[in-house]
Amino acid sequence: MTHWLMAERSPGDGRNPYTARIAAVGRHLPATTLSTEELMASTRHRTGIDLERLTGIRTRQVSVGDEDSLSLALAAADDCLAGAPDGAAGIDLVVSCSITRYRGGLNQRFEPPLSVSVAEHVGASDALAFDLSNACAGTLTGVFIANNLIRQGAVRRALVVSGEYISQLGQNAAKHVHGILSRELASLTLGDAGAAVLVERAPAGSEGSPGDIQFAGFTTVADHSRLCRAYPGRREPGARMFTKARAIHRVAIADTPVLLREALDAAGLTLADIDVVIPHQTSARAIRSGTKVVEEAFGDTLRHPAVVTVDRYGNTASTTHIVALVEELEAGRVRPGDRVALLALASGLEIGVVLFTIGEGVVKAHGNHR
């Protein structure tokens, strides 16, 4: 019995006659850099924690109140569509997937949905628009939904966006963290970012071409839903997050190899077929240890080391995979036809995999190292 929530049939079977492809990606990072040294110097208590050594995070980009969830998402959408040959033309679905929904400071906005503002901003006012939240797996969940709707013929072009103004959790945590066992320690790893993905119907007869999504699936291991929780702050602005980080890492490592094997089998691929692996960016140490466990389980090694950007940007929640993918594109480390695996590991416990190939247009859009 499969663990995955996914489209069950392949393109061309009558039920899902189309193929979806990733046509463009974009990101936006705030201008202000906050180093781990500066953040730890701001803590109220003497913690004795060497957070940079523990996590590998040297810096992160943060909003200082000049940007919020919506503005980060809008800027990422602009970056994404600037690299799309047809821009926003024909977009008939907009999905906003952030955990934070701040607009105008630390004010959470639920109605009207942020997706409506994004659709109006890009000139797609007639598009179906809705918000969803799925912890740090949000953006990839949006891609999963867009992939299925496009394959079924319900939509043609979908813009998936997220803006995470999440660093305020770290500011609040700095007032309360006493030591390495603090449940707010993970909040000190966070950074802000916006991300956007344009998913569209592939031309008829082009199945198997670069850009195609070969697999998108998610599963929830709900037994571990209590390992990470966030609440509105009682005395501080924004929110506070409480995480059992070691427990989350332990259960994620136990479940990921099994589920990744199922995803690869469903796509008819092996670990050796994957050129680029981008896991959720929690810490450099967690990524290295997780990679080792996966390689041991498969009895094989990755073709290239898993991508690590957490050292420069911190954990940017639901935007993390696209932030890292654009980084690789702009650095010239990803080429047309490369097969990419985006691995979501989110609180819940939510595990997701999106497998796709890189299209030439995506590479060209970021080839000027803008």
Residue 107 has pLDDT above 90, yes or no: no
Closest CA to 73 of 237, 81, 253: 81
- For the segment 74-81, the average pLDDT, to the nearest whole number, is 98
Structure confidence at residue 368 (pLDDT): 53
pLDDT, averaged across the chain: 91
Q: What is the rounded CA–CA span in Å between residue 1 and residue 8?
A: 12
Give the position of tokens 């189309």: 18
- For the segment 36-61, the average pLDDT, to the nearest whole number, is 95
* pLDDT confidence tier of residue 5, bands split at 50, 70 and 90: low
Closest CA to 160 of 195, 128, 126: 195
Look up residue 314 and give its two tokens: 């911190």
Look up residue 225 and give its two tokens: 């839903």
Residue 9 has pLDDT above 80, yes or no: no
Beta-bridged to residue 201, according to DSSP, are 20
Closest CA to 79 of 340, 326, 338, 334: 326
Its CATH class, for the domain covering 20-365, is: alpha beta
Query: Are residues 351 and 252 in contact, defined by beta-carbon separation less than 8 angstroms?
Result: yes
Among the residue ranges 98-102, 122-126, 220-224, 328-332, the one predicted with the least confidence is: 220-224
Look up residue 223 and give its two tokens: 């037994």
CA 179 to chain centre: 29
Residue 279 has pLDDT above 80, yes or no: yes
Closest CA to 354 of 155, 59, 46, 147: 147
Structure confidence at residue 1 (pLDDT): 38
* pLDDT confidence tier of residue 117, bands split at 50, 70 and 90: very high
CA distances from 256 to 27, 83, 284, 301 (A): 27, 33, 17, 15
- For the segment 14-30, the average pLDDT, to the nearest whole number, is 90
Structure confidence at residue 366 (pLDDT): 86
Backbone angles phi, psi at 137, to 5 degrees: -90, 10
Structure confidence at residue 370 (pLDDT): 44
Structure confidence at residue 3 (pLDDT): 56
What does the DSSP assignment read for 181-236? T-TTGGGGGB--EEEEEEEEEPPTT-TTSTTBEEEEEEEE-GGGGGGEEEEE-SSS
Closest CA to 96 of 194, 209, 206, 229: 194
Look up residue 359 and give its two tokens: 């299209």
- Residues with Cβ within 8 Å of 220's Cβ and at least 6 positions away in sequence, in order, are 348, 349, 350, 351
Closest CA to 214 of 342, 306, 325: 342
SS3 255: helix
SS3 324: helix
Residue 123 has pLDDT above 70, yes or no: yes
Closest CA to 228 of 219, 218, 239, 216: 239
Q: What is the rounded CA–CA span in Å between residue 319 and residue 309?
A: 12
CA dihedral 88, 135, 147, 340 (to 10 degrees): 90
Structure confidence at residue 329 (pLDDT): 96
Could you tell me what percent of the chain has a pLDDT over 90? 75
* pTM as predicted: 0.93
CA distances from 186 to 43, 104, 169, 227, 295 (A): 14, 26, 9, 12, 26
- For the segment 65-69, the average pLDDT, to the nearest whole number, is 95
CA distances from 48 to 21, 42, 44, 45, 220 (A): 48, 13, 12, 9, 36
Query: Are residues 315 and 274 in contact, defined by beta-carbon separation less than 8 angstroms?
Result: no
Among the residue ranges 10-19, 34-43, 165-174, 324-333, the one predicted with the least confidence is: 10-19
Residue 13 has pLDDT above 60, yes or no: no
Closest CA to 232 of 222, 241, 220: 241
- Tens digits of residue pLDDT in 290-341: 999 999 999 999 999 999 999 999 999 999 999 999 999 999 999 999 999 9
Backbone angles phi, psi at 97, to 5 degrees: -125, 20
First-to-last CA distance in the chain? 46
